[in-house]
Structure formats: C-alpha cells, structure tokens
A and B are shown apart, each in its own frame.
Chain A
Amino acid sequence: MDDNRVRTDVLVTADLELVEVNKTYQTRRGTVEALKDVNLSIGRGEFISLVGRSGCGKTTLLRILSGLLPPSSGSVRAGEQSIWKGANRDDEALKRFGMVFQDANLFPWFTVAENIALPLKLRGTGKKARTARAVELCRQVGLSGFEGAYPRELSGGMRQRAAIARALSYRPSILLMDEPFGALDALTRDKMNLELQAIHAAAGATVVFVTHSITEAVFLADRVVLLTPRPGRLRSITSVSLPRPRSLETQSSAQFQDIVRELRIQLDEET
C-alpha cells in the first residue's frame, strides 16, 4: 500500500527521495540494522514529521539526508542530484539543505548576528550583505535587539530561534530539523511550533522534522512518517489534512485527536 503511494508521489514533484536506503553499524555485539529498506518520497514544500521511539533510526535518517552520515546502500536524491555517491557526498547538492539540531549549536565566540550569518560567510557573501540578512532574520524569528548579544546571554528558546535563523540564512529549499524543540519547556515549545508553521508557510521550503512527540508531529506535518526500531523501518505514513494555518485550538479538534490516537495505537503495537 505504501509502495503505491511512493510511486504516485514520484510522478508528481519529488523534492527529496530515498530509495532502498539501508544503514548498518558494526559493533562488538554484531551488526546493528539502524535503517532497513527505507523508501520515501517527499514533495516540494511538504512538511514531513518523522516520529518513533528512541533508537528507531530517525536521527540516523536525518543525518544521512543532511550529508553527515553515508548510507550503507541505497540512494538519496534531492531533485535531480544524488547526495551520496557511495560514501562521498555531493557538496553542491547539499547547498540546498538547511539543518537545525537538537542543541542550538551556536558558536559562543560569535554574536547572534555573526552566528546567523555564518553560512553566508562560508559561501563568500560580503560582510555588509551578511549583516543586513542577519538583521532581517532576527526580525523574522523575534530576536530583534539581540543581534550583538553572545549566545550565552540568550535563553534556550532564543538560542533555538537563532539556530533556525542560521539555517534559513541562505534560503535553503529543504530544511532538516532534528528534535529542535526537544529541550524546551511545553509553553515555549507550543510557541515555537506556531512560529515554525509561519516560517514554513513564508519560506515555502520542504521540511523534514524529527520528533518523539506525536502531538507536535501531527500539529506541524502534512504527512507523519512513523518509524519502528530494530531494524529501523517505515511503519506507516499518515496524511494530516487539517486546514492551515493551524492554531492551538486545532489540537482540541476531533480530527486532530483521532489522528494522534491512531498513531499512538500503532506505536504501542510494536511493544
């Protein structure tokens, strides 16, 4: 059933495509299959949430997508380009990608503006243009007035906003996010989810969002991809057709809760 859907998606506009992706690790106890036969096709501008228990391979999948970890076999394509040629990655293809990690990973020696503009600096953009873009992004993510602050002067939520702004600085068409709000308190998290929705709508980028919160996954996504561990493989793909923009009230709607319940049942089945 899933296979059929994957094929129809390919025919439409696949922005990001995983075909028969496998990842195995060698450990002292033997071979661990972190990912097995993963097929997934993601359309342009689509918001995909990856959910699953710890160790289901969702972070591994995202690291393969972002060029940090080579797959053992299979292919990963962004548009026409393959990201991985064996264990070698294609830096050119990766220029379309932005990555946000669980930790903000801001550089403490750079100010907020310098951190946000770092990708532009690496690409050789002039200082003036860089600063202008950083100021613009600070406004967009609600960090105006903190351009000259050092990361240690920011709260956890503000750091994560800066990290998102850094990932957006070069206008990537694909945004990969690895539990970016995992370390935030519930209230801040709700707020960041709303802002991320707005950013996604404005930037029109394709987003792959890893989380272990089912509600967060459903709230944000066009499709929720559920992974199961040992070996890590796709369990199901659930479309979320709730209208956008979604508000916190959306979470109390019957449709929202039905989807969450269904996913929770699927997650429980595996144990």
Chain B
Amino acid sequence: MGDSRLNRLLPWISSPILLVLFVAAWQLIVSVGGVSRFILPAPADVGDSLVTMFSDDAIWGHIRVTLVEVVVGFAIAVVLGTALGAILGRMIWLERAVQPAMVAFQVVPKIALVPIFVILFGYGITSKIVITVILAFFPIMLNVLLGVRSVDLGHRDVMRGLGASRWQTFRDLELPSTLPYVFAGSEVGIVFAVIGAIVGEYLGANEGLGFLVVSSLNALDAPALYAVIVLLAVLGSVLFLAVSLTKRFVIPWHESVAKQ
C-alpha cells in the first residue's frame, strides 16, 4: 500500500527536482561557460523578462489569441476527425477509394502549406485556425478509424445474441469502445494544434505568442524570447493536461487511466 502511494506521488516529487536541476545546469553554463548573454540569457534574466511582460496587460491579449486559435482549431479537428474516422471506418470501400489521396496529403509537410493559408485567409486568426485543424485532424481521424474497426467480435456476438437494435449497439458497444481511440488521437492532436498555431503566427501575424517570439527575435531581446517560449511550454502543458483529465473523467474504466 505504502509502495503504491509512493509510486503515485513519485512524478510530483521528481518533476520539480528535474526542473531545478535543469535551471541549475542552465545557470552553470551561463556563469562558468561564459556564453554571451545575447545568445543564452541567465534564468534570472528570463524571470525578469516574464515579470516585465506581465506588468503590461497586452500579454493577456496575446495569450488569448493563441489560446483561441488552438482550442477552436482543436475542437473542429475533434469533430471532423471523429466523424470522418467513423464514416471511413465503417465504409471500407470509401476508405480504399480515398486512401491514396489521404496518404498523399499526409506526406506533404503541412508546415510548408502555412504561407499558402496565410495568403488565402489573411493575417488574422482564421488562417491559424485552419492550420491548427489540418495538423490536429489526422491523428484523431486515423485513431478513430482504427477504433471503429477494433470493436471486439466477441462483444458484437453478445449484442447480436441479445437481439440489440442498431442504436443500442452504437450506444452500448461501438461508442464506448471507440472513445479510448478518440482520446488517444486527441492527446496527439492537441500537441499538433499548438504547433500549428505557433508556426502560423511565426509566418504571418500581428498578435499571439508566436508573433511575440518573432518580434523578440527581431529586437534581439533574448530574455524576452526565452520568456515567451516558457509561456508556450506552460500553455502546451496545460492544454495537454486538460485533454488528459477529460479522458480520466470520461473513460475511467480504460487501462490507460487505471491506477498503477
């Protein structure tokens, strides 16, 4: 019992230690290695930069823009990915028909398409949402497609033997059995969504955290650049955690959620 509790607490103890070690190593390189502060600022400088940033309310506007791009794009990707994955999973002929096109679209480095979307949809929020959707969509759709095909045959026999209707089979078997795949895809999808929004902002935007990265770089303000990256790391972690917690709440029965 004590062992399992320790096991569960372990990441909460180890993660802060790892973080402290990381910052210490960083500080060591700066003070001993004699790296120029314009290339690698000290952790304290980055901290100062963060404080300065938050003393100006504008930062919240940038955070909000990026957050909206990621969340809206991700939400659309979940809906589209689940719907298309479910349809293609059930219609094998359709999947065969569109598979070459899908593979072709998948192997294109989609980041390379970002300038095109900026041209098409402008410098505003729309182009970033489109990029976010496209990046987050594939892992979700492919997982759902797999999930729909993976419904256990023995479970199907149970439902058929009980004379379950089409709707009952969906509600009590197909939907719950596919949900873990929706979440597996979503956990990858949310990470891709953040990448999509930031790269979109790098290439053409006048607000958002990605825009702040580029403008800090142009101003040669290394501490500010690092500060925004820290913010992005926090944002990405919070979003991933949100998806992960939702999963724990929706499918508490699944192995991926089970307590060790």
Interface residues of A (CB under 8 A from B): 66-68, 91, 94-95, 97, 99, 101, 103, 105, 107-110, 118-119, 121-122, 150, 152
Binds A, one of B139-147, B186-194, B240-248, B250-258: B250-258
In chain A, what residue has the closest Cβ to B165?
A: A122
A-contacting residues, B74-91, CB 8 Å: none
When the two chains form the complex, which single residue of A91, A107, A152 contacts B258, counting CB atoms closer than 8 Å? Answer: A152
A225 CA / B179 CA spacing, docked (Å): 44
Question: Contact flags (1/0) for B146-172 with A, using CB distance below 8 Å?
Answer: 000000101101101111110010001
Chain B count of residues within 8 A CB distance of the other chain: 22
Interface residues of B (CB under 8 A from A): 152, 154-155, 157-158, 160-165, 168, 172-173, 176-177, 179, 251, 253-255, 258
A107 CA / B178 CA spacing, docked (Å): 12
A94 CA / B162 CA spacing, docked (Å): 8
Q: Are A91's CB and B251's CB within 8 A? A: no
When the two chains form the complex, which single residue of A67, A108, A109, A119 contacts B160, counting CB atoms closer than 8 Å? Answer: A67
Residues of B within 8 A of A150 (CB): 253
* A-B interface, 8 closest residue pairs, ranked by CB to CB distance from nearest: A109-B176, A105-B154, A91-B163, A99-B161, A109-B253, A150-B253, A105-B158, A119-B162
When the two chains form the complex, which single residue of B152, B164, B254 contacts A122, counting CB atoms closer than 8 Å? Answer: B164
Residues of B within 8 A of A97 (CB): 161
Q: Are A101's CB and B253's CB within 8 A? A: no
Q: Are A94's CB and B154's CB within 8 A? A: no
CB distance from B162 to the nearest CB of A (A): 5
Q: Are A152's CB and B161's CB within 8 A? A: no
Q: Are A122's CB and B160's CB within 8 A? A: no
A68 CA / B159 CA spacing, docked (Å): 10
Q: Are B161's CB and A67's CB within 8 A? A: yes
Residues of A within 8 A of B161 (CB): 66-68, 94, 97, 99
Q: Are B176's CB and A107's CB within 8 A? A: yes
CB distance from B33 to the nearest CB of A (A): 51
CB distance from B241 to the nearest CB of A (A): 23
A119 CA / B258 CA spacing, docked (Å): 27
In chain B, what residue has the closest Cβ to A98?
A: B161
CB distance from A22 to the nearest CB of B (A): 22
A75 CA / B28 CA spacing, docked (Å): 85
Q: Are A122's CB and B162's CB within 8 A? A: yes
Q: Are B160's CB and A105's CB within 8 A? A: no
Q: In terms of DSSP, what is the predominant structure of the interface of chain A?
A: loop
Tell which of B155, B157, B165 has the most Cβ of chain A within 10 Å: B157
In chain A, what residue has the closest Cβ to B168?
A: A122
Q: Are A101's CB and B158's CB within 8 A? A: yes
Q: Are A108's CB and B253's CB within 8 A? A: yes
What are 21 residue pairs bridging A and B, where the CB atoms are less than 8 Å apart in the complex?
A67-B160, A68-B157, A68-B160, A91-B163, A97-B161, A101-B158, A105-B152, A105-B158, A107-B177, A108-B254, A109-B177, A109-B254, A110-B253, A118-B158, A119-B162, A121-B172, A122-B162, A122-B163, A152-B253, A152-B255, A152-B258
In chain B, what residue has the closest Cβ to A90?
A: B163
Q: Are B155's CB and A107's CB within 8 A? A: yes
CB distance from A239 to the nearest CB of B (A): 29
CB distance from B129 to the nearest CB of A (A): 33
Residues of A within 8 A of B155 (CB): 105, 107
CB distance from B71 to the nearest CB of A (A): 27
Q: A105-B154, A107-B173 are in contact. Are A94 and B163 (CB under 8 A)?
A: yes
Residues of A within 8 A of B154 (CB): 101, 103, 105
CB distance from A164 to the nearest CB of B (A): 13
Q: Are A107's CB and B172's CB within 8 A? A: yes
A107 CA / B168 CA spacing, docked (Å): 14
Residues of B within 8 A of A108 (CB): 253-254
A107 CA / B253 CA spacing, docked (Å): 10
A68 CA / B153 CA spacing, docked (Å): 12
Residues of A within 8 A of B157 (CB): 68, 99, 101, 105
Tell which of A99, A107, A110, A150 has the most Cβ of chain B within 10 Å: A107
A101 CA / B152 CA spacing, docked (Å): 13
Beyond the given pairs A121-B172, A122-B163, A152-B253, 19 more chain A to chain B contacts, judged by CB atoms under 8 angstroms and listed by A's residue number, are A66-B161, A67-B160, A68-B160, A68-B161, A91-B163, A94-B163, A99-B157, A101-B157, A103-B154, A105-B152, A107-B173, A108-B253, A109-B253, A110-B253, A118-B172, A119-B162, A122-B164, A122-B165, A150-B253
